[in-house]
Structure formats: structure tokens, C-alpha cells
Amino acid sequence: MIIINLTINKRKRSAFTALFSSFMLIQFVSLRLANGAGRGYLTEAVQEKVYLFIQVAAILGFLAHALIRCKERDRTVSCPLTAVSAALCLAGTSIMLFCSPASLFYLVVTGISVTLVGFLGGSVYERLSMYMSSVRFAGLFIGIGYAAAVLLQFCLQLQWSLTPLLAFFMFVSFAVLAILLLNEDRLPAADADKNKMPSSRSAIALSIGITFALLIFTSYYNSYIHHLQIATGYTDYNVYSWPRLLMIPTVILFGSLGDIKGGRLLPICTLCISVTALLNTALLGSDTYILNMCLYYVALTAVVAYYHVTFLHLAGNGRHRALTACTGRIIDSVVVIVSFGLNISTQSQFTVLLINVLALATAIIMMAFRGALNLSVQSVPVSKEDSAADPFPVIGEKYGITPSELKVLRELVTTDDKQVAIASRMNISVSTLRHHITSIYRKTGVQTRSALCKLLNAAK
């Protein structure tokens, strides 16, 4: 039984990681190709705004998916749309790979393709949020998935002229994405417990503010580094080479922090690395330009890990799962547009530094309100009278059993019903019930219902 459960969990983690890494590679390559749309066809002034165009297209794709999912109760509409979007997006990416960007046709294809990437991303983020609680060490595997995409994209961009090789990896990524999104059995069943406590609006709003402030910081921090570079005439270094590889260990590390103490270490560590990066540039200036670039990639990746883990967790209990799950990614694109609109390059070095400080100060204040700076794990005290009358809260607190799992546990030890009857009474699927049972057995260390009864009796 234990070997079977380990095998199933391994498959879940593999599917979880493959889904995220496939989408991230598609997103990286698609945006890279789209950024060159209109080159040789548009004027230089207009060409600079193409990146804004593709960011808006991506946002529209995410919002379109969220709107459709909010209007439907099942996947009768969004599932076929996901399949069609994957096919059209693959066709559009192929055109972007093999055709010249110097045409109106290329621009139109780019806009449609990036919008479809956003739509697929909405489906991916929603699916990931459904399985955050069922995949152990989900933050770690989010980091591994992101790191795999970064590494592969980095290797491919070094040999960007090898278009057939790039096309092959893109085809494989689209195939993996389609299989995992359309095959419900490849991933663990979603938690259908409608009585789960939803995430509060204030928690979501504060997380949005924190993410926006941190992304503004990384955007302006990058600009501040370039201000120092220009001021000192340091132009001999290619900032898009090896420092980008620091994203790989960073995203794995910070993703793992999302699994420790309920993720309480993740925001404070993200804030610490951001402050360290700013202090390095402010105190040492351009004398450590390479170090500045390394810290930039580390800080940026920490923020990316933060908003992915945070919003995927919030979406798991949210009323609007599809929208909440991709909120962090939407904010990322919004910050790009805002930063471009403010025209950072024309601002003084002092102004950019001031905005960096204000952005971090805003993030600190919002983290304080969010409770992200409190590292202590708070638990609801259980009185002796309550524990004597109802041992379930004691078991839940001792073994880290979730409210949904406690309801299943109560059914298992207080009835002799079969799983089908229990699932029907709880209004959840049998696969969801079995997932909860597996999780309960793993957390308590027992393998039978009778052993669970003994565990409850010992807690009285």
C-alpha cells in the first residue's frame, strides 16, 4: 500500500512539474519571438511599443479565460476552447519561427498567438491551484518546473539559429500541455468541498499590493543598474548571458520556502534579498556592476516565486479561482506597461533610486498588514473541555490535517459506510475522497480505519 501511494504521488508531482515547465517554456519563447514582430516593417519609434502590445495581448488572454470559467459551472466550454487554443497557438508559433517579422501578417499572428498563450496560461494556473494542496512540496516543484524552462530557454537562445531544434521543443511542450490539461486522470482530483473557507478579499488585495510593489522595485532596480552603467561608461558586459542562470537555483530555493511553515518564510526572505540588492547598489555603486546584475536576477526570481506560490495558494480557497490563480502573472505584465509608460530612462538616477526605496517601503507596510512578517505559526487553542468532547481538533492540530480532511476522517471513524456512500453524502467525487484518505494515512502514519479509531480514542 505504501509503495503504491509513493508511486501515485511521484506521478502527481511529475505531472504537476511538467505542466508548469511546459507552459513556462512556451511563454518564454513566444514572448521572445513576439518581441521582434514588425522589425523591418514598423518604424523604430513604433517598434519600441511592440513589447507593450504583446503584454496587453497576454493580459487579455488571461482575463478571457477567467471570464469564461466564471460563467460556466463545468468545463464543457473551456475544455474544448483550451484544445483549440493549443492547436492555434502551436500554428501561430510555427509561423513566428519560420516567417519574416517584417510584415503586417506577422504582427496579426503575433497578437493572436500571445493572446492564446495567455488563455492557455489561465487554464494552467487554474489547474495548478486545484492541486496545490494535494501535491506535497508543491512550491519546490513549481520552482523545479520554472528552473527547467529557464535552463532550456537559455540553452536554446545561445543557439537561436537552430530553428528546427527550437520548433521540436515547442511542439513537445504543446503536446505535454494539451495532454495534461485535457486528461483529467493525469493529475489528482480537484478538491470539490464547497464548505472550504474562502480566501478573504483583504488577503488577496494585500497580496496584489505587495506583488505590485516588489515588481515595481525590480523594474526600477534594473533601470538603476543601467543608470550606473551609463554614468561610468561600463559597457563591456553582456547582461543577458550567465547571470540569468542564477534564476535556476534561486527559484528552486524560494519555491521551497513556500513549503516551510505554511509559506511564512517566503515573503520575508523575498524582502530581505530585495533590500540587500538595493543596499549593494546604493552603497557600492557601479564598482560592483556584475554583482548588481546577479542580485537583480536573484531578486527578480524571488519575486516571481513569491507571487506564483502566493496566488496559487489563495486561489485554492478562492471563489474566483481562475482569476486569482493568474493574478500574479497579470500584475507582472501590468508593471511592464506602467514602467514603460513612466519612461524610466529619462528620469534621473536619484529619482529611480527614490522610487526603489518607496516601492520597498510600500511592500514592507503591506506585508505587516498581511501578517507576512510574523514567523510564528499561530494555532487556535483547544480547551480541555472541547478536546474531551471532540478529539478531532486535537488530531487535526497534531498531524496537520486540513478541515476538508477532518470531515473525511470523521466519516471514516464514525461510520462503516463504503467510500462510494461517503463520497455521495459529502457531495464530492470518489477520487477526491480517496485522495483525502491517502493524505490522512500519510500524515497520521496508519493504514487502516481501525487504526484511525485507536488514534482518536488515544486523543480523548
CATH number of the domain within which 166 lies? 1.20.1250.20
Q: What is the pLDDT of residues 109-135, one digit of tens each?
A: 999 999 999 999 999 999 898 877 667
Whether 209 and 93 share a structural domain? no
Between residues 394 and 76, which one has the greater pLDDT?
394
Q: Would residue 451 count as lying in a domain?
A: yes
Whether 316 and 364 share a structural domain? yes
Q: Would residue 4 count as lying in a domain?
A: no
Whether 177 and 271 share a structural domain? no
Whether 207 and 291 share a structural domain? yes
Mean pLDDT of 398-423: 84
Q: Would residue 1 count as lying in a domain?
A: no
Whether 140 and 109 share a structural domain? yes
- Of 147, 162, 190, the last residue of a domain is 190
Q: Would residue 352 count as lying in a domain?
A: yes
| pLDDT score recorded for residue 56 | 95
Residues 378-395: b if buried by 16+ CB within 10 A, e if exposed: eeeeeeeeebeeebbbbb
Collapsed DSSP state (helix, strand, coil) of residue 185: helix
Q: Which residues contact 200 (CB under 8 A, 6 or more apart)?
A: none
Q: Would residue 122 count as lying in a domain?
A: yes
The answer to which of 81-90, 264-273, 343-352 has the lowest mean pLDDT is 343-352
Identify whether the C-beta of residue 110 lies closer than 8 Å to the C-beta of residue 103. Answer: no
Whether 367 and 433 share a structural domain? no
| pLDDT score recorded for residue 196 | 45
| CA–CA separation, 209 and 102 (whole Å) | 39
In the predicted structure, residue 187 carries a pLDDT above the cut 70: no
CATH number of the domain within which 423 lies? 1.10.10
Confidence of residue 5 (pLDDT cuts 50, 70, 90): very low
Q: Would residue 403 count as lying in a domain?
A: yes
Identify whether the C-beta of residue 194 lies closer than 8 Å to the C-beta of residue 357. Answer: no
Q: Would residue 95 count as lying in a domain?
A: yes
Q: Would residue 3 count as lying in a domain?
A: no
Whether 181 and 236 share a structural domain? no
The average confidence (pLDDT) of the chain is: 82
| CA–CA separation, 78 and 380 (whole Å) | 40
Whether 256 and 355 share a structural domain? yes
Confidence of residue 345 (pLDDT cuts 50, 70, 90): low
Between residues 4 and 52, which one has the greater pLDDT?
52
Q: What is the 3-state secondary structure (H, E, C) of 377-410?
A: CCCCCCCHHHHHHCCHHHHHHHHCCCHHHHHHHH
Whether 358 and 390 share a structural domain? no
In the predicted structure, residue 51 carries a pLDDT above the cut 80: yes
pTM of the predicted structure, to 2 decimals: 0.77
- Of 378, 403, 432, the last residue of a domain is 378
Whether 177 and 213 share a structural domain? no
Q: What is the pLDDT of residues 368-403, one digit of tens each?
A: 888 887 765 444 444 444 444 567 777 887 788 888
| pLDDT score recorded for residue 234 | 59
**Residue pointed to by grid coordinates 532550456:** 152
Percentage of the residues of the chain whose pLDDT score is greater than 90: 35
Between residues 344 and 400, which one has the greater pLDDT?
400
Phi-psi region of 183 (alpha: psi -120 to 50; beta: other; left: phi over 0): beta
Q: What is the pLDDT of residues 311-333, one digit of tens each?
A: 998 887 667 889 999 999 999 99
The answer to which of 22-26, 234-238, 389-393, 415-419 has the lowest mean pLDDT is 234-238
| CA–CA separation, 199 and 319 (whole Å) | 8
Mean pLDDT of 188-205: 58
CATH number of the domain within which 320 lies? 1.20.1250
Whether 418 and 441 share a structural domain? yes
State the total domains in the chain: 3
Whether 448 and 309 share a structural domain? no
| pLDDT score recorded for residue 194 | 41
Which residues does residue 39 pair with via DSSP β-bridges, in sequence order? 42
**Helix axes 104-130 and 78-98, enclosed angle (nearest 10):** 140
Q: Strand (E) positions, 71-128? A: none
Structural domain including 418 reads 384-459
Angle subtended at Cα 299 by Cα 298 and Cα 302, rounded to the nearest 5 degrees: 85
| pLDDT score recorded for residue 224 | 83
Q: Identity (one letter) of the amino acid at 262?
A: G
Mean pLDDT of 205-215: 94
In the predicted structure, residue 184 carries a pLDDT above the cut 60: no
| pLDDT score recorded for residue 239 | 47
- Of 160, 190, 220, the last residue of a domain is 190
Identify which of 139-153, 176-190, 194-208, 307-321 has the greatest average pLDDT. Answer: 139-153
